[in-house]
Amino acid sequence: MKETIILGIDPGTTIMGFGLIKVVGKEMHFIQLNELDLKKYNDHYLKLKLIFERTIELIDTHKPDEIAIEAPFFGKNVQSMLKLGRAQGVAMAAGLSREIPITEYLPKKIKMAITGNGNASKEQVAKMLQSLLGLKTLPKNLDATDGLAAAVCHFYNSGKVTVGKSYSGWDAFVKQNQDRVKK
């Protein structure tokens, strides 16, 4: 039976949450959830380097077949949006450098997939994941469960036609983003 490992990432420059699930047939199995705590670092570029390195380490250790990543939602603060976009970008670059297909999901889509409510709280998402995957305890910070939620959302959406933006590698990324690429 085919086995698929999905790495879910909730990018952030303060905390990057991530979770891994294994899919065997139509069943989901919990592998890991954790977070990369970046609060103690002041240098934004160092944070980006650490996000990249941790993502590569996760990829090399667990060999995921696919990556699901939470897309930054539009906020009022342009600076924090930019930082979040960069964090997401380096996590994506890590996956692309290892030729792993990446799919982005909006936070509302992830919440909807997990709880049936696009406006669910982090706590509601975490509790539902705990129930779905039989987790004994939940982490103190719920960024890790947000990363896991992205992976579970991707599992629920696999096989469906529209799942957001997917990239199978640099070439696909460039082709799908012609308007952003300088010639």
Delimit the domains of the chain by residue range: 3-177
Question: What letter would DSSP give residue 178?
Answer: G
What pLDDT, on a 0 to 100 scale, did the predictor assign at position 92?
Answer: 96
Q: Which residue reads 């297909």 in tokens? A: 101
Among 35, 66, 104, 143, the active-site one is 143
Q: Using 50, 70 and 90 to split pLDDT, how confident is the model at 162?
A: very low
Cβ atoms of 124 and 148 within 8 Å: the answer is: no
Q: Is 35 a catalytic residue?
A: no
Q: Above 80 in pLDDT, residue 167?
A: no
Model pLDDT for residues 82-134, shown as the tens digit of each residue? 888 999 999 999 999 999 999 999 999 999 999 999 999 999 999 999 999 99
**Closest Cα to residue 50, out of 65, 40, 61, 62?**
40
65 annotated as belonging to a binding site for a ligand:
no
Q: Which residue has the higher pLDDT, 11 or 179?
A: 11
Q: Using 50, 70 and 90 to split pLDDT, how confident is the model at 170?
A: low
Question: What is the side-by-side order of every strand in the sheet holding 27-37?
Answer: 27-37, 15-24, 3-10, 66-70, 102-105, 166-167
Cβ atoms of 90 and 110 within 8 Å: the answer is: no
Beta partners for residue 15, in sequence order: 37
143 annotated as belonging to a binding site for a ligand:
yes
Among 10, 35, 66, 104, the active-site one is 10
Among 66, 70, 104, 146, the active-site one is 70
70 annotated as belonging to a binding site for a ligand:
yes
Question: What letter would DSSP give residue 121?
Answer: -
Q: Is 65 a catalytic residue?
A: no
Coil, strand, or helix at residue 4?
A: strand
Backbone angles phi, psi at 116, to 5 degrees: 85, 5
Backbone angles phi, psi at 68, to 5 degrees: -115, 130
Rounded to an integer, what distance in angstroms lies between the CA atom of residue 117 and that of residue 101?
A: 27
Q: Above 70 in pLDDT, residue 169?
A: no
pTM as predicted: 0.86
Q: Is 179 a catalytic residue?
A: no
The CATH number of the structural domain formed by 3-177 is 3.30.420.10
Cβ atoms of 130 and 148 within 8 Å: the answer is: no
Rounded to an integer, what distance in angstroms lies between the CA atom of residue 98 and that of residue 7?
A: 13
Model pLDDT for residues 133-151, shown as the tens digit of each residue? 999 999 888 999 999 999 9
